[in-house]
Amino acid sequence: MVLTIFNAVKRVLVGKPFRNDRLAHTLLPKRIALPIFASDALSSVAYAPDEILLTLALAGVSAVAIAPWVGLAVMVVLLTVVASYRQNVHAYPSGGGDYEIANVNLGKYAGLTVASALLVDYVLTVAVSMSSAATYLTTAVPSLHGQQAAIATTGVVILALVNLRGIKEAGSVFAVPTYIFMASILGMTAVGVFQAATGQLGQAPSAAFEIVPEPGFDEGLVGLAGAFLLLRAFSSGAAALTGVEAISNGVPNFQKPKSKNAATTLLLLGVIASAMLAGIIYLANATKVHIVLDPATEFLLNGKPLEEGYIQNPAISQIAQTVFGSGSIPFYIVVAATGVILVFASNTAFNGFPVLGSILAQDGYLPRQLRTRGDRLAFSNGVLALAAGALVLIIAFNADVTKLIQLYIVGVFISFTMSQLGMIRHWGRELKLSKEPAVRRRIIKSRTINTVGFFMTALVLVIVLITKFSQGAWIALLAMFVLFLIMWSIRAHYDNVAKELAVDEDSSPRALPTRVHAVLLVSHVRKPVLRALAYARASRPSRLDAITVDISPEETEATVADWEKLEIPVPLTVLASPFRETVTPIMEYIKNMRRDSPRDLIVVYIPEYVVGKWWEQLVHNQTALRIKTRLHFESGVMVCSVPWQLKSSEEEAKKLQDIQ
């Protein structure tokens, strides 16, 4: 069967399933936890500075000089958010994700809003990070330029397969590249600062280009339009904050004292991320890295447009070229480390998305089957959904990081804001429960920090909404809205079903149907029919009838003759079929029985052939399937399939056993 092939392929690609116990807590020391949870947050320096620079460049070269101030504003927000999440970590040592904090403290609609935002953001994390990784790969291997979409697509597919195999085994693999990335960026910053101090710092490859400002920005960042552009640059730079919340989800994985260690790690993350961001933006400014949306129209060299074929490299790559020299080994290390960390950042989404999906399924917002974990401790369905979403985005936006960023940050700040609001509520409740002054003081301090965090993130959310809505954020918002509706409907459906099916006073677990009326469907008198007959008789029904539908007179005659010859002690009724159709006469017969004795239970025994090959399905059981579907709509009717395993099914059964 097709399923078998699929399963076999899956087994080869994905490996054997894990046992539950292997999930058991492998508690992480801070030095391992930091790289595991930090790759998403740290990796955003690979694209956030570029977005600030190219947005400001719309107002010409003078505006680009403001980049460090924009960077500073982003850093302030980043450190505020880190401080806020340190409070979350202390409040929810069991690992309260933003969804749970909003759900518990603000109610299910808030929770569902955050969940929708997070799901969309996970998809965007994969799309943005893989697209950016593809760009860094083309920086190192220029001949691949123009193939970013294909590279990113391949990357997502590989990552999905790796995650279907189960990712926990790769735990410590994360540590090394993340540390290499930190070391290379911070090292580059140190060398660059030293060169600048000694007057040896060179000029970036793009330093010589003049920037043609957009119409209306000839005088730089002035007026309302200038302010708006500044805010847009800030919004884009805020992409640096994505992934900060990861540690707060992972508190249970830390060594004891969990909360304290997690909070310390979070602080470390904030400091390192800020330092890297500051370093990149400082060096970009010092080496005059010029980055624009469209080099062909916005750059001039000696007053003339650039020659065709100019490839604009990201800021980190240009800085590495300037500090270490193009083609030098340190240059390749920086670029490679950045590319790798971006892939790892995508991978954090592959960890987070299925976990969130299973929590949502547990809460009834997604289909139940997503709740149980798939093979190898990974939630296969979630992995597949995430990969599919990311692939759609990458292909739709041709792996263009700048375009994808416009969709990105809105979801992050929706969940930041909601989560902080939830934390304010949380501390308010805690405050009511506590009398001890020292504890109350600590709670009030935490609440103050979360309040500052709330206003800060809410302000950024408003700025992001204003500056990004028409740029693409509407797509992300629409996707969230649709997800919200879907999940809300699924939950409403499950609630309705649960209400409809709840055991009430009327439902007695001891009531039995008065009589059982068994009906055996007969086509030919063959072994499967005899087996079904035996099974039907073994259940000792009050009454047992065999029925056959008269499609072809000759065959019916043969069936009746065989029936009599075997002296089967059950009457065989022949149903007329004016439409030469099997299902309707049977349905009418059953319905008549229901009408005659509505309190009886009717049990329909259907002999079925169990076959081995997919095409055998096409030539058998089609009618049985249609009858079963129709019978299921009749209340008081139970359908018993009596399988007869054809020899060809044995091999298939063995295969199924090997697989599962």
Among positions 481-520, residues that touch a copy of itself (CB under 8 A) are 490, 493-494, 497-498, 500-503, 507-513, 516
Q: Which stretch binds a copy of itself (CB under 8 A): 105-113, 154-162, 415-423, 574-582?
A: 574-582
Site size toward a copy of itself, by CB under 8 A: 93
Return d(Cα 496, Cα 519) in angstroms, integer.
34
By the rule CB under 8 A, 581 interacts with a copy of itself: yes
Torsion angle defined by CA atoms of residues 603, 609, 614 and 617, in that order, rounded to the nearest 10 degrees: -60
Where in 362-381 is the site for a copy of itself (CB under 8 A)?
362, 367-369, 371-373, 375
Return d(Cα 547, Cα 313) in angstroms, integer.
78
Nearest distance from C-beta of residue 355 to a copy of itself, angstroms: 13
Q: Which stretch binds a copy of itself (CB under 8 A): 112-120, 288-296, 314-322, 604-612?
A: 604-612
- Torsional class of 580: left (φ above 0), alpha (ψ -120 to 50), beta (otherwise): left
CB 117 within 8 A of CB 480: yes
* 325-339: burial string, b at 16+ Cβ within 10 Å, e else: eeeeeebebbbbbbb
HEC-encoded secondary structure of 481-547: HHHHHHHHHHHHHHHHHHHHHCCCCCCCCCCCCCCEEEEEECCCCCHHHHHHHHHHHHCCCCEEEEE
Where in 527-546 is the site for a copy of itself (CB under 8 A)?
527-528, 530, 533-535, 537-541
Select 308 or 504, whichever has its Cβ closest to a copy of itself.
Answer: 504
Long-range CB pairs of 453-456, under 8 A, 24+ apart, other chains included: 453/80, 453/81, 453/83, 453/84, 453/85, 453/87, 453/416, 453/420, 453/423, 454/84, 454/417, 454/420, 454/421, 454/423, 454/424, 456/77, 456/80, 456/81
By the rule CB under 8 A, 551 interacts with a copy of itself: yes
Nearest distance from C-beta of residue 278 to a copy of itself, angstroms: 45
Determine phi and psi for 167, rounding to 5 degrees: -105, -20
Nearest distance from C-beta of residue 564 to a copy of itself, angstroms: 11
Nearest distance from C-beta of residue 376 to a copy of itself, angstroms: 10
Where in 412-431 is the site for a copy of itself (CB under 8 A)?
none
- Residue window 607-626: x/- pattern of binding to a copy of itself, with contact defined by CB under 8 A: -xxx-----x-xxx-xx---
Nearest distance from C-beta of residue 502 to a copy of itself, angstroms: 7
Q: Which stretch binds a copy of itself (CB under 8 A): 112-120, 239-247, 283-291, 636-644?
A: 636-644
Number of residues that this document lists for the chain: 660
Where in 21-80 is the site for a copy of itself (CB under 8 A)?
21
By the rule CB under 8 A, 633 interacts with a copy of itself: yes
CB 22 within 8 A of CB 377: yes
Where in 242-281 is the site for a copy of itself (CB under 8 A)?
none
Look up tokens 């979350």; give the residue: 88
* Strand pairing class (637-645; 601-610): parallel
Where in 109-138 is the site for a copy of itself (CB under 8 A)?
none
What percent of the chain is helix, strand and coil (3-state, nearest 5)? 70, 5, 25
Q: Which stretch binds a copy of itself (CB under 8 A): 85-93, 126-134, 331-339, 634-642?
A: 634-642
Among 17, 68, 305, 330, binds a copy of itself (CB under 8 A): 17
Among 30, 429, 445, 632, binds a copy of itself (CB under 8 A): 632
Return d(Cα 492, Cα 490) in angstroms, integer.
5
Nearest distance from C-beta of residue 648 to a copy of itself, angstroms: 9
Select 197 or 502, whichever has its Cβ closest to a copy of itself.
Answer: 502
Select 190 or 618, whichever has its Cβ closest to a copy of itself.
Answer: 618
Torsion angle defined by CA atoms of residues 547, 552, 553 and 556, in that order, rounded to the nearest 10 degrees: -30
Where in 210-249 is the site for a copy of itself (CB under 8 A)?
none
